[in-house]
């Protein structure tokens, strides 16, 4: 009986440390991410001006649809995302773009302190044309404070 209690106690202590860590590893973006973007960019088929944007998951979308909202210009764009896990854990939120020449396309978003982020699942017509022309994008990350 004493051995079982010791084993059970050890398991309970281990679970207290494992469960909170595991939930953070598999966390999804549930908070809004605010970003100041200094250049124009494209989401899907929509070109957006530079400015302050709030990215957030749409409620009741099973965390698959996100919106970008620019309050000043009253612009809102919805887009489909999927969860991704990266090798690094950003200290601050990050917005990642694929850049072809002077045109940047939103690609990924990460919340600060999490390796799990989201990636857009669809490319727009303009980006598809650039890819078909054989152009290779460079990745451009903007860290937010």
Range 35-55 average pLDDT = 96
The structure's pTM equals: 0.77
- What are the sequence ranges of the domains in the chain? 28-143
CA dist 129 and 132 (Å) reads: 5
The residue to which tokens 């059970």 are assigned: 8
CB 80 within 8 A of CB 64: yes
Q: Which residue has the higher pLDDT, 3 or 116?
A: 116
Give the least confident one: 2-16, 53-67, 71-85, 86-100: 2-16
Cβ atoms of 35 and 90 closer than 8 Å: no
Mean pLDDT in residue range 44-72: 93
Q: Are 83 and 117 in contact (CB under 8 A)?
A: yes
Residues 6+ apart with CB under 8 A from 28: 57, 63, 83, 116, 118
The residue-averaged pLDDT of 84-97 equals 93
Name, in order, each residue with C-beta under 8 angstroms of 92's C-beta and a sequence gap of 6 or more: 112, 143, 144, 145
Q: Which burial class, exposed, middle or buried, applies to 46 when counting CB atoms under 10 A from its CB (0-12, 13-18, 19+)?
A: middle
How does the average pLDDT of the chain come out, rounded?
A: 84
| Residue 10 pLDDT exceeds 80 | no
Give the residue from 69, 83, 106 showing the smallest Cα distance to 29. 83
Please tell me the distance from the alpha carbon of residue 81 to that of residue 44, in angstroms, as a whole number: 11
């Amino acid at each position: 009986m004493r051995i079982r209690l010791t084993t059970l106690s050890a398991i309970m202590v281990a679970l207290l440390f494992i469960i909170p860590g595991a939930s953070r590893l598999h966390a999804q973006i549930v908070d809004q991410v605010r970003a100041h973007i200094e250049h124009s960019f494209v989401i899907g088929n929509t070109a957006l001006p530079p400015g302050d944007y709030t990215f957030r998951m749409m409620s009741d979308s099973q965390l698959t649809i996100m919106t970008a909202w620019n309050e000043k210009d009253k612009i809102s764009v919805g887009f489909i995302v999927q969860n991704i896990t990266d090798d690094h854990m950003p200290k601050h939120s990050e917005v990642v773009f694929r850049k072809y020449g002077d045109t940047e396309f939103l690609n990924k978003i990460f919340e600060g302190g999490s390796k799990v982020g989201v990636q857009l699942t669809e490319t727009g017509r303009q980006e598809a044309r650039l890819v078909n022309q054989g152009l290779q994008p460079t990745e451009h990350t903007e860290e937010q404070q």
